[in-house]
Amino acid sequence: MARTPPPFAAFEWMIAWRYLRARRAEGGVSVMTWISLIGITLAVFALIATLAVRSGFRAEFVDTILGANAHVTVYALPAQNERGVVDRAIEDHGAMSARLAELPFVTRAAPLVRGQVMATANRRNTGAEVYGISAEDLATLPRIADPEASAGDIARFGEGVAIGSGIARELGLAPGDRIRLISPDGVKTAFGTSPRVKAYEVTYIFTAGRYDIDRTRIYMPFAEAQSYFNREGAADEIEVMVRDPDRIDAYGPAIRQAAGGAVQLWTWRDSSGAFLRALEVEDNVMFVILSILVLIAAMNIVSGLIMLVKNKGRDIGILRTMGLTEGAVLRVFFICGAFTGLIGTAAGVVLGVLFAIYIDPIFAAVNYLSGGGVWDPSLRGIYYLPAKLEAADVLSAVALSLGLSFVVTIFPARRAARMNPVEALRYE
């Protein structure tokens, strides 16, 4: 009794390989194969490149938020002082910061004084926001104390102020220069409040990686900020950093209890949540659009296989009369389509990974060829186009491409398997 060959036997692969190498004289099948291959390659490349840029942009945006801003800010509830003025100053900021720092998930709790000023130097003016903070707390901010993206000496922070690189560029300042700060809420006199004007030495210039931070932020020693903004003995808020910022919502009750209960919390998700949600929606829409692009590229496989089945009708009839089963014929043409999808997907993955790895020189070349100004940090917030390869993104692109390629291949392969050998050979 003859033994039935197993599925995907060697002869099936041999027949499929011969069909894939069909010459133009045999119906132009090789041309259709190349079109399908290039289409899938470009579609997978576009999908992986887009996912990498999406992941990199989100990671860079979140990192700049968490590296230079509080993970959660603690404010006092509004209350009337002895003069009948509504005030939100935190008088016991030292004790409150100590209680918050004792929480096991808190890495730092620092009191801050905040105020808006007009900064002027070299006959230039710009608006700025001053953060009054101690030198010890400033040194623990990763994006501010990074020595690779700074100028000056952070150890001399107590002798002057630290300013963002955007302010330094706008006002033409360098470490050692002096900057004049003007606050409308200045000295209180019998005739009202007069503006406060004071000059400080620029001891440190930082680059946080966010345009809006570098362009507007100035750090001032905490005690000096209290005096400058008339906050004697008080702070405006408590800046809290935690070990796992993604769990900040779960930490809320414990932080509120340690702060004394009568406080208001403002997390990094509250300040940037709308942007992150919009970014997530855009990511999902982009993934769907690019998935449709992959589907369109995979449909080229159907066209190529239909042409192949039409041109190989006589071969199918001969193979069937020689004893080839419907399943064997189906597998032969399935291999033809799946092989095209597999090679196209692999090539697309290679191109996508190379794009993510070498995105900086690629973007620099594009910027040079276009005459510069392609990336405007004032609109996008960060200074460059980031890319971050994640295994889940690459695997999702591979699974999508291979899944669509395999599924669309089944239909023309079944058509070939169900072809009647008598009809195929009738006119031969």
Single residue among 226, 261, 296 that ends a domain in this structure: 261
CA-only gyration radius of the chain, Å: 33
Q: What is the pLDDT of residue 25?
A: 47
Same domain, 293 and 229: no
**What CA–CA distance (Å, rounded) separates 273 from 293?**
30
Same domain, 314 and 281: yes
Q: Which residues of 131-143 are buried (b: 16+ CB within 10 A; e: fewer)?
A: bbbbbebbeebeb
Residues facing 113 on adjacent strands:
132
Residue 1: pLDDT band (50, 70, 90) is very low
Answer yes or no: is pLDDT of 425 > 60: no
Q: What is the pLDDT of residue 315?
A: 66
Same domain, 90 and 237: yes
Q: What is the pLDDT of residue 330?
A: 74
Question: 262: which 2 tokens?
Answer: 């009568």
Residue located via tokens 């918050």: 100
Mean pLDDT in residue range 16-40: 68
Q: What is the pLDDT of residue 59?
A: 82
Answer yes or no: is pLDDT of 298 > 50: yes
Q: What is the pLDDT of residue 426?
A: 55
In a domain, 269, yes or no: no
Mean pLDDT in residue range 161-167: 93
Helix (H) or strand (E) holding 267: strand 263-267
Same domain, 99 and 32: no
Same domain, 49 and 171: no
**What CA–CA distance (Å, rounded) separates 46 from 48?**
6
- DSSP character at residue 3: P
**What CA–CA distance (Å, rounded) separates 20 from 15?**
9
What is the total count of domains within the chain? 2
Single residue among 206, 235, 261 that ends a domain in this structure: 261
Residue among 287, 413, 398 at smallest CA distance from 344: 398
Cα dihedral across residues 180, 182, 187, 192: positive or negative: positive
Q: What is the largest CA-CA distance in the chain?
A: 116
In a domain, 48, yes or no: yes
Residue among 346, 361, 338, 337 at smallest CA distance from 394: 346
Same domain, 19 and 100: no
pTM over 0.85? The answer is: no
Same domain, 119 and 233: yes
Answer yes or no: is pLDDT of 346 > 60: yes
Beta-strand pair 79-80/192-206: unpaired
Same domain, 412 and 367: yes
In a domain, 231, yes or no: yes
Weakest-pLDDT range from 124-138, 181-195, 340-354, 367-381: 367-381
SS3 state of residue 50 = helix
Q: What is the pLDDT of residue 347?
A: 93
For residue 348, give its domain range: 10-63+276-425
Weakest-pLDDT range from 124-133, 199-208, 385-394: 385-394
Same domain, 210 and 352: no
Same domain, 238 and 129: yes
Residue among 268, 337, 407 at smallest CA distance from 16: 337
